[in-house]
Each structure stands twice: as C-alpha cells, then as structure tokens.
Amino acid sequence: MSDYTLYTYFRSSCSGRLRIAFNLKGLEFTPIYINLLKGEQASDAHRALNPSATVPLLVAHRDGDLRIGQSMAALEYLDEKHPGTAALLPADAKPRAVARALANIIACDVQPVTNLRILKRLRAISGANAEEWSIELIHDGLRAYEDTVKTSAGRYSLGDSVTIADVTLMPAVWGAERFNISLDPYPTVKKIAANLSELPAFQKAHPFVQEDCPEELRVKF
C-alpha cells in the first residue's frame, strides 16, 4: 500500500489539485473513486471518514492515518512533508503571499459557489439556470485572476516555477472548458494554461484520463 490514499472524483477540481501535486512531487497514492453524481459522497461510510461529505479526502498513512478533507490544507501538508521536490510555495514571504492570494481567488471565490452541491441546491430552491450561474461566476474569477497575475506571471503564475497558484488554476480552467468558456478575454491566464498543459504532471491529472472517467469522455495525451 502506498503512503497516501486519495478519495477522488474525475471531474472534481479540488481532487484535480491533489492529483497534480502528487504528480509534480513524484509521489504515489492509492485512489478510491467516489461518484458524486450517484451521491456516494453522502454515504454513511464516506461521511464517517470526511464529515464534510466531499472529495477530495487525503489519508496520510505514515501520519497515523491522518485525514485531511480540505484540498488547500492537503496541498500545504504535502508541500511541508515533501519539501525537497517541486515546492508549491516560494521560500520568501512576498511571493508566497502572492501565490496563496492567486490560489484563493479560485479556491475561495470560484469553486465553492460553482460546485455540484451548490448547483443542486440552487435548482431546488429557485429553479435558476445553474449553467448561467456557473458561467458568470467563473468569468468573475478568471477576470480577477487575470488582473492579479499580470504583474507576477512568467511562463506560469509566478515567474517560471510552478506553484500552488498553478495547481489551483488549472483544474478551474478544465472546469471552464466544460462550459465552453473562452480564455481569449484573459490572455495571461490563457498563456499560463497553455504552458501548464504541456507538463506531464498536469496531463496525467486531467479529468479525462482518470480511471473513473466514463469511456466516452476519455482522451490520450
């Protein structure tokens, strides 16, 4: 058994963050697939492991089976436990703050209000068009990311090193593609995403190459 187990769903952007981080650091993990569309995250068995009834859930077996049910905390845990390879956070305080701020545009302002649980409740309460809701809020987040990242970007969000900002951004870009959202209004984001897409760690983490991805959606890089 590997040192880590990751409860994941192929289309979960938060799970995608962890998959990317594992790949960047060259760490093995055992995946357990939780089908969100079938409601498996709400089962008693999963809720007993993660009271939030969400994915991802990271279990660190060498740390007493520590369970981390929040993706950003899990990313920083992996970075602190494995600091020698592909550091996700810069060493200095200023760029570290920039990286965290960029990551949190996605993690705090976009993903929580466009996830499956919120969209289901939105439909149930108001009958609103969940797709239009998601598209508008994704655009808001990409616009904020674009305006913020202009001053720090190189090949990636902070110069030429991949950071926690990129690990958080790319799954959001995959989500935007699902809604056919063009990145043309966000040229810096578009450039960063194109560069990240060339990296094997990101290709291997793409939703459409995961084992739980339906066959009709599968792609190869």
Chain segment 52-98, per-residue pLDDT in tens: 999 999 999 999 999 999 999 999 999 999 998 999 999 999 999 99
| d(C-alpha 152, C-alpha 90), whole Å | 13
The confidence score (pLDDT) of residue 67 equals 99
Residue 105 per-residue DSSP state: I
Q: How far apart are CA 133 and CA 129, in angstroms?
A: 6
Structural domain 93-203, CATH architecture: Up-down Bundle (1.20)
> Could you tell me if 6 and 57 are in contact, meaning their C-beta atoms sit under 8 angstroms apart?
yes
Strands 66-68 and 57-60: antiparallel
According to the model, what pLDDT value does residue 53 have?
94
Which three-class secondary structure state does DSSP give residue 30? strand
Q: What is the pLDDT of residue 28?
A: 98
Predicted model pTM? 0.94
C-alpha separations of 94 from 30, 90, 152, 167, 171 in Å: 35, 9, 11, 19, 25
Supply φ then ψ for residue 140, to 5 degrees. Answer: -55, -45
How much is the average pLDDT of 7-26? 98
Q: What CA–CA distances, in Å, run from 6 to 2, 80, 170, 190?
A: 10, 18, 19, 29
Q: Which CATH architecture has domain 4-86?
A: 3-Layer(aba) Sandwich (3.40)
What are 96-141's pLDDT values in tens digits?
A: 999 999 999 999 999 988 887 777 777 778 776 878 889 999 999 9
pLDDT category at 211 given cuts 50, 70, 90 is: very high
Q: Which pLDDT belongs to residue 113?
A: 82
Cis ω for the linkage preceding 214 (within 30 of 0):
no
- Scanning the chain, the segments in alpha helix (DSSP H) are 13-25, 44-49, 71-81, 93-104, 111-114, 116-126, 130-149, 164-178, 187-197, 200-203
Q: Would you kindly state where each structural domain of the chain is located, as residue ranges?
A: 4-86, 93-203
| pLDDT score, position 32 | 98
For residue 193, pLDDT over 80 is answered with yes
In 10 A of CB 186, how many CB atoms?
22
Mean pLDDT of the chain: 95
Average pLDDT score over residue span 144-154: 99
